[in-house]
Amino acid sequence: MEKLIIQGGTCLQGEITASGSKNAALPILAATLLCEGPTTITNLPHLQDVITSIELLGSLGVEVGVHQQHKIEVDARRLDSLTAPYDLVRKMRASILVLGPMLSRWGEANVSFPGGCAIGSRPVDLHLQGLEAMGATIVIEDGYIRATCSGRLVGCSISMSTVSVGATENLMMAAALAEGTTVLENAAREPEILDLANCLNAWGARVTGAGTQTMAIEGVASMTGGDYRVMPDRIEIGTYLAAAAATRGRVRVAGAAPWALGAVLAKLRETGARIDTGDSWVELDMLGRRPRAVSLTTAPYPAFPTDMQAQLTAVNAIAEGVGIVTETVFENRLMQVQELRRMGADISIDGNTARVQGVVRLQGAQVMASDLRASASLVIAGMAAEGETCVDEIYHIDRGYERLEEKLHHLGAKIKRIPG
């Protein structure tokens, strides 16, 4: 198992370019199943989760052509299987997103229960309840979700009991080819939802209201396909800005979408950072100062994202003052705290809340990544610490960060990947 070795104490300086969004790319890849013609996706990040999604499409008989590192062509006309197998689905929870498109277009879908990061149960009940409301028959057997429908799904009004990004995406895609109009109440409003809606519309769907709590999808008889460019990854961008804050540095990220980073930029400003933005770039400058601690509570967009909680916890660990971090989205997402303590962080936990008393400096240590964003927090802590930090289990990082050590090295970090 590969590891990252980090020599701490370097102030990050320079400019990097944002990658395409993982959380936008995965549903867009699933949406190719809806199209009767070929689709082209650009700005696709080269990540393990994206590779898994492409492999999953291939297992269904979909033709996928990789033309460049960040561009692929997908043609689902020769699909010859309606079963998403356990061996692939277990690697990534987002695999559940093929359920809605397959069922809507072909009237049948067999999808293994998904796997992925161990940060909570993240049940698929909302996905299944919404599909059943549209006329699907769903049976759970042998670890598979077996869904069928007679004819087309039928549009209806669906009010989701909790905000769920995955369920919103799955039901959007299922509704795209349904008969009539589907209205989703209490829909997720994340920028990646808007990106999926824009993609679906570019390929022939009729989605309105994306980015609000009430979304309407007018079903169409078919979708033709076409070209689409994936939005920048707001979590990757936020991670590099947090790393600059922790190391008292100055970092500019090009190819960014600052409009999608509102709550993150607001908290980073509270640390004392100077932040400047343009149409497609964002820059953070700590002016050489130690960050101030910030308190935050995670919640669905437009509130502070759970995917940035671990990174800001790491910033708080070396900040001036006390920060209270409350996680409300996932019940088991403070796992990075134990590893940060190994580096000298002063953090106490009470339920889903962490009290972080900043220390002047952390000490390098051997730590283990437990999930994708926890991995990023340990890398940030390692760059801010004195001495050497070794981060184990970094396959988590490769699921969501494209060329992380290369980009950090470009910013001056002393970081290298070594065999386990």
Residue of 223, 210, 226 whose CA lies nearest to 105: 223
Asked whether residue 67 carries a pLDDT value surpassing 90, the answer given is no
Beta pairing partners, 232? 20
Q: CA distances (Å), 369 to each of 238, 301, 384, in order?
A: 19, 26, 17
Q: 320-346: buried (b, 16+ CB within 10 Å) or exposed (e) per residue?
A: beebebbbbbbeebbbbbebbbbbbbe
Reported as a pLDDT band with limits 50, 70 and 90, residue 119 is very low
- As a whole number, mean pLDDT of residues 57-85 equals 94
Q: What strands, in cross-sheet order, belong to the sheet with 226-229? A: 63-68, 71-75, 39-42, 226-229
What pLDDT is attached to residue 115? Answer: 57
- Catalytically active residues, by annotation: 117
Question: Side chain identity at 68, as an amino acid letter?
Answer: Q
- Distance between CA atoms of residues 302 and 325, nearest Å: 17
C-beta atoms surrounding 401 within 10 Å = 27
Radius of gyration of the chain (CA): 21
Residue of 181, 321, 186, 309 whose CA lies nearest to 238: 309
What pLDDT is attached to residue 116? Answer: 46
Contacts of 22 (CB under 8 A, 6+ apart): 45, 47, 49, 50, 233, 235, 236, 399, 400
What share of the chain in percent tops pLDDT 70? 98
- Quick: pLDDT tens for 140-160: 998 899 999 999 999 999 999
Greatest distance between any 2 Cα atoms in the chain: 64
The angle at the Cα of 142, spanning 141 to 146, to the nearest 5 degrees, equals 45
Asked whether residue 268 carries a pLDDT value surpassing 90, the answer given is yes
- Distance between CA atoms of residues 153 and 100, nearest Å: 10
pTM of the model: 0.95
- Quick: pLDDT tens for 197-242: 999 999 999 999 999 999 999 999 999 999 999 999 999 999 999 9
Do 175 and 134 meet the contact criterion of CB atoms below 8 Å apart? yes
C-beta atoms surrounding 47 within 10 Å = 24
Asked whether residue 118 carries a pLDDT value surpassing 50, the answer given is no
Mean residue pLDDT of the chain comes to 95
- Quick: pLDDT tens for 250-261: 999 999 999 999
Reported as a pLDDT band with limits 50, 70 and 90, residue 290 is very high
Reported as a pLDDT band with limits 50, 70 and 90, residue 117 is very low
Beta-strand relationship, 39-42 and 226-229: parallel
Q: Helix H segments across 117-225?
A: 125-133, 165-176, 191-202
